[in-house]
C-alpha cells in the first residue's frame, strides 16, 4: 500500500470495523496473559476485546503512517447493530432478548454499510486518520481505545505471535 500510495499520489485508506461492544470488555482492556486460555474464555469478553483491538490497531497504524510521512490513513468504525448479520446466532436466549429490545433500533444491511463506505470513499475524510466513526461521523470511543501505551503493547504482542523467528 505504501508504494502504491506513493506511485499513484492517491491517499490509501485502511478501515477496521469495530463495534460499540469494545466498551464491554475487561477493565484493563486486553488480557494478554489470557488470549489463548480456553478455561477463562467468555464469548462476550472475547468479542469486546477483539473490537477494542481493532480500534487500537487502527490508531497505532495511523500513528506509524504519520511518523513515516506515508499518505495512508487508518480509522475504525462502528457500523451499527445489524440483526440480519445474526451476531447472536449461537445464543438463542440472548438472541431472543436482543431482537425484542434492540431490534427496533437496529439498521438494515445498506444502513450498516453506510459508515464503512463513507470512511472509505468520502472526500471529507481525506487526511483524517486515527479516528473512530459511527453513523458517518467521528465518534468518541472508550478511554481504553485511545490508550497509546495499550495500542503499542498490542502491536508488539501481535508481532511476537507472528514473527517467524
Q: Structural domain of residue 116, as residue ranges?
A: 2-155
Domain assignment of residue 64, yes or no: yes
pLDDT of 68 above 80: yes
Q: Using CA of residue 15, residue 76, residue 32, residue 88, what is the dihedral sign?
A: negative
Least confident range of 19-28, 91-100, 111-120, 146-155: 91-100
Contact predicate 9/70, CB 8 Å: no
Residue 150 CB-density burial (10 A; 0-12 exposed, 13-18 middle, 19+ buried) = buried
Domain assignment of residue 165, yes or no: no
33-61 b/e (C-beta count within 10 Å ≥ 16 → b)? ebeeeeeeeeeeeebbbebbbbbbbbbbb
Residue from 26, 41, 47, 132 carrying the catalytic annotation: 41
Least confident range of 6-10, 124-128, 129-133, 138-142: 6-10
Contact predicate 69/127, CB 8 Å: no
Domain assignment of residue 117, yes or no: yes
Domain assignment of residue 148, yes or no: yes
Domain assignment of residue 90, yes or no: yes
What whole-number percentage of the chain has pLDDT above 90? 61
pLDDT of 15 above 60: yes
Query: Beta partners for 132?
Result: 76, 139
- Note if 41 is an active site residue: yes
- Specify the number of domains making up the chain: 1
Reported as a single tens digit per residue, the pLDDT across 69-125 is 999 999 999 998 766 555 555 555 555 555 555 555 677 777 878 999 999 999 999
Give pLDDT, residue 14. 98
Q: What is the CATH number of the domain that holds 84?
A: 3.40.50.720
Averaged confidence pLDDT in the chain: 87
Which residue, 50, 105, 52, is CA-closest to 83? Answer: 105
Domain assignment of residue 55, yes or no: yes
Domain assignment of residue 160, yes or no: no
- Rounded Cα–Cα distance for residues 17 and 76 (Å): 6
Give pLDDT, residue 56. 98
The H or E element containing residue 162 is helix 148-162
Amino acid at each position: 500500500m505504501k508504494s502504491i500510495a506513493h506511485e499513484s499520489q492517491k491517499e490509501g485508506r485502511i478501515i477496521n470495523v469495530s463495534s460499540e461492544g469494545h466498551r464491554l470488555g475487561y477493565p484493563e482492556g486486553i488480557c494478554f496473559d489470557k488470549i489463548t486460555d480456553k478455561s477463562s474464555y467468555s464469548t462476550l469478553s472475547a468479542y469486546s476485546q477483539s473490537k477494542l483491538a481493532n480500534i487500537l490497531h487502527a490508531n497505532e497504524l495511523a500513528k506509524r503512517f504519520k511518523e513515516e510521512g506515508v499518505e495512508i490513513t487508518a480509522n475504525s468504525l462502528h457500523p451499527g447493530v445489524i440483526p440480519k448479520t445474526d451476531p447472536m446466532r449461537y445464543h438463542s436466549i440472548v438472541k431472543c432478548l436482543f431482537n425484542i429490545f434492540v431490534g427496533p433500533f437496529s439498521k438494515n444491511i445498506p444502513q450498516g454499510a453506510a459508515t464503512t463506505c463513507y470512511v472509505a470513499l468520502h472526500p471529507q475524510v481525506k487526511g483524517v486518520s486515527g479516528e473512530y466513526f459511527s453513523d458517518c461521523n467521528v465518534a468518541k470511543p472508550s478511554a481504553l481505545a485511545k490508550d497509546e501505551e495499550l495500542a503499542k503493547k498490542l502491536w508488539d504482542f501481535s508481532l511476537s505471535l507472528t514473527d517467524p523467528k
